[in-house]
Amino acid sequence: MCNVYGYVRVSSIEQKEDRQMIALRKAGVFTGSIFVDKQSGKDFCRESYRKLVSLLKKGDLLYIMSIDRLGRNYVEIQNQWRILTKEIGIDICVLDMPLLDTRSGKDLMGTFIADLVLQILSFVAENERENIRKRQEQGIAAAKKRGVRFGRPESETPEDFITVVKSWKQGNIKLEEVLETCHMSKSTFYRKLRKINLK
């Protein structure tokens, strides 16, 4: 008798997996057999996914909501699909794409259609990821042109900074006292010190 599993992935801890969980349970997957990862789909080094694969045996069935929940890297999706269906010998059912159900169409034509659809969808998934990255880069570049600064804001320099530095250089106070007085980390202190170029 085959075991039935489900796999769910969201890109970050903040995102909710409810929609995928509901769809898998509706398909008949028990909650205890659903493996969830909360991280990027750029590769397959994911704890729950690896645990799932270690349990899979020939004849088992794996449900996923959509192909991009499996991953977003075109080459690696193809490779994982081959490992799961050909090497391990499980069936996969992609719920939002009925053509990607390896239980039906086991003949040559069915396999060809499933492989073709997989190639198209995994290409689209990776292409979308690449487009998102490009849009982010363009947005950041445009924001920088407008003068938007990224990263932590520069901490304010105390009015008596130069006086404190002079006192430190003369050996009157220790570095720890300077950092405490100026409310700075050591790296910030030395960075500001380079800027004033005090002799």
Positions marked active-site = 11
The rounded distance, in Å, linking the Cα atoms of 114 and 100 is 5
The rounded distance, in Å, linking the Cα atoms of 106 and 144 is 54
- Give the other-Cβ count within 10 Å of 46's Cβ: 20
- Give the other-Cβ count within 10 Å of 182's Cβ: 20
The encoded tokens of residue 124 equal: 């689209």
H or E element, residue 5 = strand 4-10
Is residue 180 exposed (0-12), middle (13-18) or buried (19+ Cβ within 10 Å)?
A: exposed
The encoded tokens of residue 117 equal: 């659809």
Half-sphere exposure of 196 (CA within 13 A, CB side): 17
